[in-house]
Amino acid sequence: MSVKHTGIVILFCICAVTAQAQDIGGVLQDSEMLNGQPDIVLENINRALVENPNSEELLKVRADAYEILKQYDRAIADYRRLTQLSPDDESFWYLLGRNQFLNGQLQEAMRSLNRSTRLNSRFLPAFHTKTEVLLQLNQYDAALRVSDSTLLIAETAMTYFLQGEVYSRLKQWQHAEWAYSSAVKIDRGYIDAYIALANIAVVTNKATETLEAADAALAIDPDSKEALIIRSIGFAMLKDYFNAIEDVSYVIELDPNNVEAHIRRGTYYMETNRPHDAIRDFDVALKFQPDNWQAIVGRADSYAKTGNKTVALEGYKNLLSIADDAPEKDAIIQLANRQIFELHREHNAPVLTLTEPLIENFEITLTDNPMSITIKGEITDESPIKSLIINGQNIPVVAIGDKFEFVALVALENVEEIQIEAADVYDNVVEYRLRIIE
């Protein structure tokens, strides 16, 4: 979870600052007028700081404004100055660490946050952010230790939520569910916790629980795109694609460029045999994210379903071109090769190899006039083998790994050749005619 900005909303107006202004309290006045306008605050604060360069009050206000504007480097500089002016103030070290975290400086953030918690061993905001930093660093065991310690300080909704995040990364779903449930028991309006519970229900394949948690989130915010998407997944789990499509369509109405919603709707259209509608959604997704492999696969699958195998094949080959840069590299390559094979295999005959007897030029040389002969072999074809017939007899085949093996005893009385014919489910046929030479 990314840190949500919880800083002080700027509620004051900076009055005219003159060279003679000495009273900082006279410079800052409460006002709703500048709420949400940190740029105006900055202009006036900078003028005030010329006269009072070490004013902690002014530096703190300017740092808050920089944070709101996401100018984290500047906020960090001000908070670092504040830690120099008041090195024993845990809040300044926390705010420095938080902005370093938001700026992607994870190791520096941990050092600042550790300083904050050493100064105040019960300072919850710093412990919460430490947990988030450790999650970003993929140090899940350490994050769990910090989260456990934080719960000993205070059992807050945020503390339980972050512990749920840790358990989710550890894939300890039962513990994660308990933590998120504890969060919403404390705060019934904690929408992120309800969405997290819905996500766990999806992972654990619980459709009803998915819908219940998503509905709880939507009761708080009917326009939550994340909750609508997760509820659509719950509907899809129940094969209720009408409602699934309705939910993601509303997301697209709220946010026409929402890639995930377009991919989800395209997938649901495919499930309801509407490949042309699906193609339109996958095209939109690829417009914004050309290398989105899920959209590439969905579009190729859709074209394959329409019978346009040329475009489908281009899509699957495109998958191979982006695989090296994707975290799911191996899975993408396997999927692409599989789909390419699927498009081709109905035109490819099985490959049959005899392992006994050894043959040369399609001839079997016999000695001692035997009454019968044992034929052994294997067939390579990833599509199922429908039949194997040797001299008119149906011979069973056994799947061993990715091959099919067979053994047959063939009578030789009045037989001049052995005919072997194997067919797969696409009616592709391989045929051998082996002459008997005595």
Task: Compute the distance between CA of residue 112 and CA of residue 72 in angstroms, rounded to an integer.
Answer: 15
Q: Give a yes or no: residue 303 inside a domain.
A: no
Q: Give a yes or no: residue 239 inside a domain.
A: no
Q: Give a yes or no: residue 233 inside a domain.
A: no
- What is the domain range of residue 381? 351-437
Tens digit of each residue's pLDDT (9 = 90 or more) over 313-338: 777 777 777 666 656 666 667 666 66
Tens digit of each residue's pLDDT (9 = 90 or more) over 204-234: 999 999 999 999 999 999 999 999 999 999 9
Task: Compute the distance between CA of residue 99 and CA of residue 5 in angstroms, rounded to an integer.
Answer: 10
First to last CA, the chain: 79
Last residue of some domain: 137, 158, 182? 137
Is this structure's pTM higher than 0.85? no
Q: Give a yes or no: residue 5 inside a domain.
A: yes
pLDDT < 50: residue spans in the chain: 1-34
pLDDT score, position 34: 40
Q: What is the CATH number of the domain that holds 395?
A: 2.60.40.650
Conformational region of residue 7, where left means phi above 0, alpha means psi within -120 to 50, and beta covers everything else: beta
Q: What is the CATH number of the domain that holds 122?
A: 1.25.40.10
Q: Give a yes or no: residue 216 inside a domain.
A: no
Last residue of some domain: 119, 137, 155? 137
pLDDT score, position 14: 37
pLDDT score, position 346: 60
Q: Give a yes or no: residue 260 inside a domain.
A: no
Cα-to-chain-centroid distance, residue 244? 19
**CB-count exposure of residue 342 (10 Å: 0-12, 13-18, 19+):** middle
Q: Of how many residues is the chain composed?
A: 438
Q: Give a yes or no: residue 241 inside a domain.
A: no
**How many domains in the chain?**
2
pLDDT score, position 303: 86
